[in-house]
C-alpha cells in the first residue's frame, strides 16, 4: 500500500492496512449502533444480529459450522485459548503436547509455560527450508497416550508452508487433537475445514485487511476445552467479555472480501515477489533466500544479505520511504536472533543479516522496482562502510 506521502509498505506479515470497505462496514457500530450484543432491547438485538452475521461470514470463509466459531481479541489469544484450554481440560499427566521449533511465540510461550507446570512437551525440528518432516510427527505420536499437536500453517517470517493435511492425517491416525495457527495463512491459502483434518484453528483480522484487536478460534464440534477468561456467558461461555461488535463486523467483512479472487491475488503477488527477488539477485552478490523455494506464501520474501546487518538495512530503507521487517513484528526490540532462522540452520551472521519483505494486494510493479533500486543502493553503501 502506498500512502499520500509516497511511502512503500512491504511489511504486510506484521499487519495489513484496513480495507476501506471494511471500515465502512464498521463505522455504524462505532456510532449509532452502539448496543451491547447481550442486551435484549432493540439496540442490543441490532448488535446481536451484526455479530451473528459476521459469524456466518467467517463460517463461509472457513467452510465450518457457526457453532464452531468463537470470537477472541486476536491470534495470540486464540492460540493461548486453544493450547491452554485443551491442556487443562485433558489434564497434566494425561496429555502430551507436541509443537515445532518454528512456531510463533504465541504458541511456543504457552507451550513452554505448560511444560514448566509439568506437562510433557515434544518440540519437532525442521529442515533447512523450515518444513516439518511428517515422519518426525508420526514417531513423536507412536509412544502412546493422548496428544495435542499445534503447528503453524505458514511461517510469518519466511513464508514456508507446512504440509498441514498430511500432518493432520497423522494426528487423526494416532487419535491426537490437531491445532493449526493459521494467522499468517488465512486469506493467502484456501482453508476448507470441512475437508481438512483440523480440530482447532486460529486466525486474526488485522492480517487480512481487517481491524486490530479481534480474531477467531475455530473448535471442531465435539472438541471441549476450558475457558481462559471467566465472567459472562458470551461466546457460549468459552470466552467471556462484552463483544467487540465493530471489530467482529470488520472481521466478518474481511473474510468475505478475502474469499473473492484468492487465486488471482496469489498469482499477482507471487509475480511481484519473484520480480523483487530476481531484481536483487541479479544485481547483488551474496544474497540468500530463506524459506522453501516453492512451498512458500505468495507474498513473502526473506533474504539474508552478506556483510549487511538487517537492522541497518531496515533503517536505511525506512529513511527512503520503504517499510520492511527483520522478522516477526512481535519480536521487535528483542536482542535474540530469529528462532525460526536459527532452527533452519542459518548461520548466526546470516540470521542477523536477514530482512523480510511481505507484499500486499495494494503493491504495484512500480513500487517493487523502486524498492529494488533502494535496496541495491543501500546494500552497496553499507558494504562499503
CATH number assigned to the domain comprising residue 297: 3.90.1150.10
The C-alpha atoms of residue 155 and residue 180 are separated, in whole angstroms, by 12
Q: Are residues 344 and 334 in the same domain?
A: yes
State yes or no: is 255 an active-site residue.
no
Cα separation, 66 vs 219, whole angstroms: 10
Do 93 and 189 have their domain in common? yes
- For residues 3 and 360, give the distance between their C-alpha atoms in angstroms, rounded to a whole number: 13
The one-character DSSP state at 186 is B
Identify whether residues 236 and 173 lie together within a single domain: yes
Residue 283 inside a domain? The answer is: yes
Quick check: is 41 in a domain? Answer: yes
Classify residue 2: in a domain, yes or no.
no
Q: What is the pLDDT of residue 145?
A: 82
**Domain endpoint, select from 259, 280, 297:** 259
Res 335: pLDDT: 59
Do 47 and 109 belong together in one domain?
Answer: yes
**Which domain-ending residue is among 259, 294, 313?**
259
Do 199 and 301 belong to one domain?
A: no
What sign for the dihedral angle of Cα 373, 375, 378, 380? negative
| Cell numbers for 296 | 512458500
User: What are the φ and ψ backbone dihedral angles of 230, each rounded to 5 degrees?
Assistant: -105, 150
- Angstrom distance (rounded) from CA 191 to CA 185: 9
Please report, for residues 68, 70, 82, 83, 193, the alpha-carbon distance to residue 219 in angstroms, rounded to integers and kept in the order given: 5, 8, 8, 12, 10
At residue 372, the pLDDT reads 98
Residue 10's pLDDT is what?
A: 98
- Structural domain span for residue 73: 20-259
Which of 225, 259, 293 is the last residue in one of the domains?
Answer: 259
Contact 353, 284 (CB under 8 A): no
Is 1 within a domain? no
Confirm if 306 and 287 have CB atoms less than 8 A apart: yes
Residue 3 lies in a domain: no
Contact 130, 152 (CB under 8 A): no
CATH number at residue 170: 3.40.640.10
Give me the tens of pLDDT residue by residue for the chain, a chain 385 residues long: 444 349 999 999 999 999 999 999 999 999 999 999 999 999 999 999 999 999 999 999 999 999 999 999 999 999 999 999 999 999 988 999 999 999 999 999 999 999 999 999 999 999 999 999 999 999 999 987 889 999 999 999 999 999 999 999 999 999 999 999 999 999 999 999 999 999 999 999 999 999 999 999 999 999 999 999 999 999 999 999 999 999 999 999 999 999 888 999 999 999 999 999 999 999 999 999 999 999 999 999 999 999 999 999 999 999 999 999 996 555 555 557 899 999 999 999 999 999 999 999 999 999 999 999 999 999 999 999 8
Clarify whether residues 243 and 350 are in a common domain: no
Residue 180, in any domain of the structure: yes
What pLDDT is stored for residue 5 in this prediction? 47
Active-site pick, 171, 255, 258, 330: 330
Number of domains forming the structure of the chain = 2
127 and 226 share one domain = yes
Task: Give domain status of residue 24, yes or no.
Answer: yes
204 lies in a domain? yes
Among residues 72, 378, 52, the alpha carbon closest in space to that of 225 is found at 72
Amino acid at each position: 500500500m502506498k500512502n499520500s506521502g509516497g511511502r512503500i509498505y512491504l511489511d504486510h506479515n506484521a499487519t495489513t492496512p484496513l480495507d476501506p470497505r471494511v471500515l465502512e462496514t464498521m463505522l455504524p457500530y462505532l456510532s449509532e449502533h452502539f448496543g451491547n450484543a447481550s442486551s435484549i432491547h432493540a439496540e442490543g438485538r441490532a448488535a446481536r444480529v451484526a455479530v451473528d452475521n459476521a459469524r456466518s461470514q467467517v463460517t463461509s470463509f472457513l467452510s465450518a459450522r457457526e457453532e464452531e466459531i468463537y470470537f477472541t481479541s486476536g491470534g495470540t489469544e486464540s492460540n493461548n485459548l486453544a493450547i491452554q484450554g485443551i491442556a487443562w481440560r485433558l489434564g497434566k499427566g494425561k496429555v502430551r503436547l507436541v509443537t515445532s521449533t518454528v512456531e510463533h511465540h504465541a504458541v511456543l510461550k504457552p507451550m513452554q509455560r505448560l511444560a514448566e507446570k509439568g506437562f510433557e512437551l515434544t518440540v519437532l525440528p525442521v529442515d533447512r527450508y523450515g518444513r516439518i518432516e511428517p515422519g518426525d510427527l508420526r514417531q513423536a505420536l507412536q509412544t502412546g497416550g493422548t496428544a495435542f499437536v499445534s503447528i503453524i500453517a505458514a511461517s510469518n517470517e519466511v513464508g514456508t508452508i507446512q504440509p498441514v493435511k498430511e500432518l493432520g492425517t497423522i494426528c487423526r491416525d494416532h487419535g491426537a487433537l490437531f491445532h493449526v495457527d493459521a494467522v499468517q495463512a488465512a486469506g493467502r491459502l484456501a482453508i476448507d475445514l470441512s475437508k481438512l483434518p483440523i480440530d482447532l484453528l486460529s486466525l486474526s483480522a488485522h492480517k487480512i485487511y481487517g481491524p486490530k484487536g479481534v480474531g477467531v478460534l475455530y473448535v471442531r464440534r465435539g472438541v471441549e476445552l476450558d475457558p481462559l477468561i471467566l465472567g459472562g456467558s458470551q461466546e457460549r461461555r468459552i470466552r467471556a467479555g462484552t463483544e467487540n461488535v465493530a471489530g467482529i463486523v470488520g472481521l466478518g467483512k474481511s473474510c468475505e472480501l478475502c474469499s473473492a479472487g484468492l487465486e488471482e491475488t496469489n498469482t499477482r503477488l507471487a509475480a511481484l515477489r519473484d520480480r523483487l527477488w530476481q531484481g536483487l539477485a541479479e544485481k547483488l552478490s551474496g544474497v540468500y533466500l530463506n524459506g522453501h523455494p516453492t512451498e512458500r506464501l505468495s507474498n513473502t520474501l526473506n533474504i539474508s544479505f552478506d556483510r549487511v546487518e538487517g537492522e541497518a538495512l531496515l533503517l536505511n530503507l525506512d529513511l527512503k520511504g520503504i517499510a520492511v521487517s527483520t522478522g516477526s513484528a512481535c519480536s521487535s526490540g528483542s536482542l535474540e536472533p530469529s528462532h525460526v532462522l536459527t532452527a533452519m540452520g542459518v548461520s548466526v551472521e546470516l540470521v542477523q543479516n536477514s530482512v523480510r519483505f511481505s507484499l500486499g494486494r495494494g503493491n504495484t510493479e512500480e513500487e517493487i522496482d523502486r524498492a529494488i533500486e533502494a535496496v541495491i543502493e543501500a546494500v552497496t553503501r553499507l558494504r562499503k562502510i
